[in-house]
Amino acid sequence: MIKPRFIFWLLALFIGFLFNNLVQHKIMLILMLLLLIMPIFSLLYSFYTKRKISVEISTQQDYIVRGENALWDFEIINHSLIQAIFIQVKIKFPKIINQDRQLKSEILIPQKSSQTLRIVADSAYSGPFNFSNLAIYANDIFGFFRIKLFSEKDLDSPNIIVLPKEEQATDYKQYLSNQLEAGEFPAGKSHVLLDEISRFRSMEAGDSLKLIHWKLSARMQEWMVKEFDKEDDRTVTVLLNLPEVNLASDKDQSKLLRKRNFMLDHSYTAMQIFLSNRATVRLKTYQPELVVEEVSTMNEIDLLQKQLAFIPFERIIDFQEQLADERFDNEQNLIYLLTYKLNDSLIADLRNIRPHIGAMLLVYVIDEDVDETLIQSQIEKLSTNGINVEIAKTHEANVYE
């Protein structure tokens, strides 16, 4: 980009050259030399002033729920004692956020002072969120050049973790709870020591009527329940087969991101339902190594929500390799799977795992491009092996009965 000041410099240089030829005066010759030296001096001085600028990037919130604004604060400090510096910041976010447009902001920072520049972006997807390209420039002292001070490689830019949202379908909670009550959730592989009561406590929402101590409740005039040294081992293992998304790709990744968002929201909602039914939820992810978070109370649901948001966009370990781990752990009551694709190889792996667990609930997430005839054929293969299948559609409102 040619700056007006550079044009004026060229014009002054031409006029100085013209007058020097006409007048043949030493003053004009000196003026021309000064004009020629100015850009060189300005460029050298700019590299010196580059050391006088520092930038610190911080976030307003490390965790936000998808749909909330992501905020980064750029504190730009001018350490120079003599010069105010004009700073320009250019930022690009992934294409899904701003359609490949570049955000640009400019700010003048007086000598020995600092200014804070706030960058705001929409959080369109769950997961680690950051800008994809950053460049910070400073103008030279005479305005001839723009010197690049920093890029994203030079600065520590913290990720903002975008959490999945709870699914808004009000009938889904009732649907899954009814399935569990109807016996889809086995009683457990471990034994309950009914003769070893640990303590009594007031009844809370979600407590089973079987745990009520009737005589003590009549005496205390409130519902009292029994707690045992070892309760039912009602454990749900959650595994997700998410689509791989390349945020840096030139191809449109919006459909895959919507499917990924849907699956994360769906699993987060389901885990809340399991916890409300007094189950222990074991979430297993690979990022890149195996990470297992086990939660037994609703108060800890935020741990599962955060772990869902940390699942990387790229494929680390193939889903069928993840399933192989379940063949050697036969203590789970229920494996809850979410997948966006099914094939004969995956169906065969699910059949091999099924005899080693109490139950399996497979959520098959589809969009409008999926062949409905093929889906029915796949469901029949799974159902003959006692695998419950739930179809969840990303492109329309799901009705649960």
Do 114 and 158 lie in one domain? The reply is: yes
Res 187: pLDDT: 43
Domain membership of residue 59 as a residue range:
52-163
H or E segment at 58?
strand 53-59
Q: How many whole angstroms separate alpha carbon 64 and alpha carbon 61?
A: 7
Do 217 and 323 lie in one domain? The reply is: no
The parts of the chain modelled with pLDDT lower than 70 are 1-37, 98-100, 142-145, 169-170, 181-198, 206, 208, 210, 228-233, 327-332, 397-401
Res 206: pLDDT: 64
Q: How many whole angstroms separate alpha carbon 270 and alpha carbon 124?
A: 22
Does a structural domain hold residue 325?
yes
For residues 266 and 166, the answer to whether their CB atoms sit within 8 Å is no
Cα-Cα-Cα-Cα torsion 9, 14, 19, 22, nearest 10 degrees, comes to 170
Do 210 and 116 lie in one domain? The reply is: no
Do 386 and 240 lie in one domain? The reply is: yes
Do 247 and 321 lie in one domain? The reply is: yes
Res 339: pLDDT: 92
Res 322: pLDDT: 82
Q: Which of 18, 29, 46 is nearest to 148 (CA)?
A: 46
Do 58 and 145 lie in one domain? The reply is: yes
**Is 314 strand, coil or helix?**
coil
Res 261: pLDDT: 92
Which tokens is 122 given? 């929409």
> Order of strands across the sheet with 359-366?
290-295, 280-286, 235-241, 334-339, 359-366, 388-393
Do 311 and 223 lie in one domain? The reply is: no
Digit-coded pLDDT (tens) for 214-232: 877 877 778 888 776 544 5
Do 107 and 41 lie in one domain? The reply is: no
Do 259 and 369 lie in one domain? The reply is: yes
Cα-Cα-Cα-Cα torsion 163, 246, 337, 282, nearest 10 degrees, comes to -50
Res 78: pLDDT: 92
Do 355 and 379 lie in one domain? The reply is: yes
Q: What is the DSSP letter of 148?
A: E
Does a structural domain hold residue 111?
yes
Res 190: pLDDT: 36
Res 338: pLDDT: 93
Do 224 and 134 lie in one domain? The reply is: no
Q: Give the pTM.
A: 0.75
Digit-coded pLDDT (tens) for 184-200: 555 444 333 344 566 77
The count of structural domains within the chain is: 4
Res 344: pLDDT: 87
Digit-coded pLDDT (tens) for 93-132: 887 776 667 888 888 999 999 999 998 888 889 999 998 8
Does a structural domain hold residue 192?
no
